[in-house]
Amino acid sequence: MNSVKCRLVLAMPVYNGENFVEEAIKSILEQDYAEFRLIVTDNASTDGTEDIVRALAKSDDRVNYVRNRQNLGASRNYNLGFELSEGEYLKWCAHDDLLSSNYLRDCVAALDADPGLAIAFGRSISVDTKGRRLPTGGWDTPDIDDTDAADRFERIIDLFGRMCFPIFGVMRRSALAKTDLHPSYYGSDQALLAELALRGRWKRVEEAILWNRDHEQRSLAIEDKLERAMWQGGTRNRLAAAEHWQLLVHLLKICGQHRDVADPRVLRKAVLKRSLQPKQMGRYVLEMASLVSPAMARRMRSLVTGAPPQPQAAAKKAGESARTDKKMGAA
C-alpha cells in the first residue's frame, strides 16, 4: 500500500474488534474537522472485523483498510500505522474508544497555535460496553508544560502506570519521528510518551473528550505476563515477559538519544531514582525470580499480596480471550 498523505492521519490498529470497531470509526467520521485520513491496520483478525471496515471504507474514502497476512503483535501493528502515513500530525485510535465530535478540531487547533507542543490530548472518561459513564478513577493526565525537557521527562516517569491515555492524543509527527515508537514489550507506550515529552510540551484540551471503553477483552485484562508478551510482540518467552526490566533498559537507552535537548546524566538520574523505589525494586526482584522459576515467583507474589498463587495454566486461560489491539501501559 502507498503512503496515506494528509495533514492529519489517524491510525487504528485492530485485532478481532468486531464488537466495537464500527462505532469507533463512525465517531471519527462524524468529527467536525474533516481534513483527515484513517488507516485501519487489521492484525489478521479471525472475526468479522474485515467485513465491517471494508464496508465503511467503501462508503467513505477517508477510510483506508490494510490487512496483515499474519498477526504482527500489537507493537508492530501500531508502528505500521505510522510507517504508512505522511503528514503533519498523527493520532493513534483504539478500535473500542469514542471521541467527542470536537476532538480532532480542538487538538489540531492547539498544536497549530503552539509550535512547541509535541502532543495535544483530551480528557479521558471511562464508559462500559454500552457506552454508560463509569465512576471516575480519580486522576487524569495534566498539562506537561515545563520549559525544560528533563523536567518534563521526570514528570512523565513519575506518572507511569497512571497516564497512558495521551497515547491516543494528536501528536506532532516530526516529534514522534524522533522517538523509538512502540518497542515490543508490554508497557512500552509509557517510554514512548516519556520520550515524546523530551521533544515538546503537552497540552490537555479540556473541551475534547476521549470516551475510553472498559471491557474484559482489553489488554489490561491479560494477567499472565507470558500472554502479555505474546500479545505485545508475538514472542512468548520469559525474557520478553520481564516488562519492568525491559522498560528500565529502554529508558536508559532513551536518556542518551536526545542530547540536543537534555543532559543524559540528568535523565539517567531521574530513571534511577524511580527504579530504586521499594515498590519498583520489588517488581524487578519478582521478574528476576520468574526468569529462574515462575513457580517461585508466584509464591513470592502471593506472600506480598496475600492472594493464593495462581497456577500458570489458569493464568494463561484468563488471558486467552483478551487479545484486542487496545494498548495501555503496565503499572
CB 283 within 8 A of CB 290: no
Q: 3-12, 51-60, 150-159, 301-310: which has the minimum mean pLDDT?
A: 301-310
- In DSSP notation, 297-315 reads HHHHHHHHH-SPPPPHHHH
pLDDT at 330 over 70: no
Q: What is the Cα–Cα distance from 137 to 19, expressed in whole angstroms?
A: 24
Which range scores top for mean pLDDT: 151-165, 232-246, 282-296, 312-326?
A: 151-165
Could you read off the pLDDT of 8-47 as tens digits, one per residue? Answer: 999 999 999 999 999 999 999 999 999 999 999 999 999 9
Contacts 24+ apart (CB under 8 A), 265-273: 266/150, 267/150, 267/153, 267/198, 270/150, 270/153, 270/154, 270/157, 271/157
pLDDT at 126: 87
CB 22 within 8 A of CB 97: no
Of 1 and 285, the one with more pLDDT: 285
pLDDT at 259: 98
Could you read off the pLDDT of 288-320 as tens digits, one per residue? Answer: 887 766 565 566 666 555 556 555 544 444 334
Length of the chain: 331
pLDDT at 192: 97
Angle, CA 243 vertex, CA 217 and CA 262 arms, to 5°: 115
pLDDT at 129: 86
Q: Which residues of 110-123 are buried (b: 16+ CB within 10 A; e: fewer)?
A: bbeeeeebbbbbbb
Residue type, 223: E
Q: Which CATH number fits domain 8-219: 3.40.1440.60, 3.40.605.10, 3.10.105.10, 3.90.550.10?
A: 3.90.550.10
Name the burial class of residue 136, with classes exposed (0-12), middle (13-18) and buried (19+) by CB atoms within 10 angstroms of its CB.
Answer: exposed
Which residues does residue 211 pair with via DSSP β-bridges, in sequence order? 98, 125
Name the burial class of residue 76, with classes exposed (0-12), middle (13-18) and buried (19+) by CB atoms within 10 angstroms of its CB.
Answer: buried
- Spell out the domain ranges in the chain: 8-219, 224-305
Beta-carbon count within 10 A of 242 CB = 22
- In DSSP notation, 59-88 reads H-TTEEEEE-SS---HHHHHHHHHHTEESS
Mean confidence (pLDDT) of the chain: 88
